Structure 1
């Protein structure tokens, strides 16, 4: 693996996640497990676990939940010096309720501290410093959706002259865009250097999951990374080169957070200068690890195991299995 010193910045919300300890109706759940979630902070933790020097910048409520988010990310090796505390608005949270093997999310983010981010947030000295030193900046369509001022902030970031790789994960959430014009998000996507998108959400957002048609919609600039659920992931580069890698066989415990782990693996591989096939494999490995646990993020694979799987043959890759007990090696 390339020994490259690089810096990443993830910009977007973090939330407290409360998961019910029983599978009964939500109104009967008395005990919840607390953890930290949110697309961009999940990616930040994943990048840090893969050895990338990573900052997460956002706004949190000046409350116990916000302080827990900071402590959690710091313990995972993420720099949080660019986070602003809001004395008036709360840290957002969501409740994960699982019944019949399916999870439903109940979000409480309206009026959150993160939703008050605006273009002026980028002018804060601590934020400017981290963006100026970044090799890669990552965000998602969720942050563009949580408020009009957040969308304006991302448009400004996308339009500024920059020396970093600008990465955007679509993370299309129709409920967040209800009665809103998604054109600002389209402009941000067209300005990105890397666009990550799921085949299912592409159908809803763009009316197609064909990579060539998406390329026409997004323009020629980006490296397009398309994830097709449990089947495959492919990259379509600006010069037309296409790389595709099948997903691993996974005993799924909980699907939430797998896309963020895939993004972290792929983007870390990009910064580490890995060949495109290995970037996709590293994304699949991160996603598989999260699929096999109930939380939104998982402990990283042993580096030696990860390297063996990045280097293995296609035939060996095809028989790898991942579950709660770990990885079955070829």
Structure 2
């Protein structure tokens, strides 16, 4: 059997982020307020994951969708500049590339997102030949992938048939429903990566260790991201803690 071409295949949303920094709050009534800075950068949890994995030296390919517009070309160029293979990125001229406008303050941020292409990727558009060339499949922003979401269990099952392991990072649910077939996906998930808020909402439990135990199985690890408190990993009845690394925080957008 030939060796896989990619260590990680990432499936997920693609969008640009327009990050505005400043200690201000927008106000209607045509009130103009000044900010400190504005930056256009690659956004989306999935793309940031892909770029981080590539930076660690892994061979990464991305499957997603953008529009045939300036933001779409920007996103693809940013992925390629970070050595992420974009042969699985679909360019659809009928839709606009997703965009998030982020007002970032020192200790918090507000986000406005136009879904556009983010919600438009369909299972039938995913190249199964590319999927079969990977060792691991990661999917991010589960609740934003409207067209793909009903078929994500089938996607993960296909990955397992091709011999890939799987991981899932749901991110926040804008509808605050916290299901949408998620538990069918978890049945095919080897590593689940929620943060503290997502873990509690999905498990319907406030106690972190209990929530970890409720979502883990003998074959599924659950790793809860706890911000400055590090991470907790539940595996086969045991909980392992990983402390956070002390750093000088500049901006947590995309962290």
**TM beyond 0.5:** yes
1:207 aligns with 2:212: no
2:29 maps to: none
1:57 aligns with 2:63: yes
Q: Distance in 2 between matches of 1:50 and 1:63?
A: 30
TM-score (norm 1): 0.67
Q: Distance in 1 between matches of 2:14 and 2:246?
A: 30
Secondary structure of 2:249's partner? coil
1:10 aligns with 2:7: no
**Pair 1:214–1:25, CA change in 2 (3 A):** closer
1:24 maps to: 24
**1:128, CA displacement in angstroms?**
1.8
1:192 aligns with 2:198: no
1:37 aligns with 2:43: yes
Equivalent pairs counted in the alignment come to 243
**Pair 1:212–1:57, CA change in 2 (3 A):** same
- Alignment gaps of 5+ in structure 1: 259-330
**Pair 1:204–1:67, CA change in 2 (3 A):** same
Secondary structure of 1:230's partner? helix
Greater fraction of residues in helix? 1
The CA deviation string for residues 195-235 of structure 1, in whole angstroms up to 9 with x for no partner, is 11222321223222433543334443211112222113122
Secondary structure of 2:153's partner? helix
Greater fraction of residues in strand? 2
Q: Distance in 2 between matches of 1:181 and 1:210?
A: 17
Q: Distance in 2 between matches of 1:147 and 1:9?
A: 16
The CA deviation string for residues 219-277 of structure 1, in whole angstroms up to 9 with x for no partner, is 4321111222211312222x33443221122332222222xxxxxxxxxxxxxxxxxxx
**1:120, CA displacement in angstroms?**
0.7
**Pair 1:36–1:155, CA change in 2 (3 A):** same
The CA deviation string for residues 125-144 of structure 1, in whole angstroms up to 9 with x for no partner, is xx22221011111012x2x3
Contact 1:190 1:218 in 2 (8 A): no
Contact 2:19 2:39 in 1 (8 A): yes
Contact 1:94 1:108 in 2 (8 A): yes
1:165 maps to: 165
**1:181, CA displacement in angstroms?**
7.1
TM-score (norm 2): 0.85
What pairs with 1:235-274 in structure 2 (closer than 5 Å)? 235-237=233-235, 239-258=236-255
**Pair 1:211–1:64, CA change in 2 (3 A):** same
Q: Distance in 2 between matches of 1:121 and 1:39?
A: 21
**1:149, CA displacement in angstroms?**
2.1
* RMSD after superposition: 2.4
2:121 pairs, out of 117, 120, 125, with 117
Secondary structure of 1:40's partner? helix
The CA deviation string for residues 290-324 of structure 1, in whole angstroms up to 9 with x for no partner, is xxxxxxxxxxxxxxxxxxxxxxxxxxxxxxxxxxx
Contact 1:199 1:226 in 2 (8 A): yes
**Pair 1:216–1:205, CA change in 2 (3 A):** closer
Q: Distance in 2 between matches of 1:99 and 1:257?
A: 14
Q: Distance in 2 between matches of 1:54 and 1:181?
A: 29
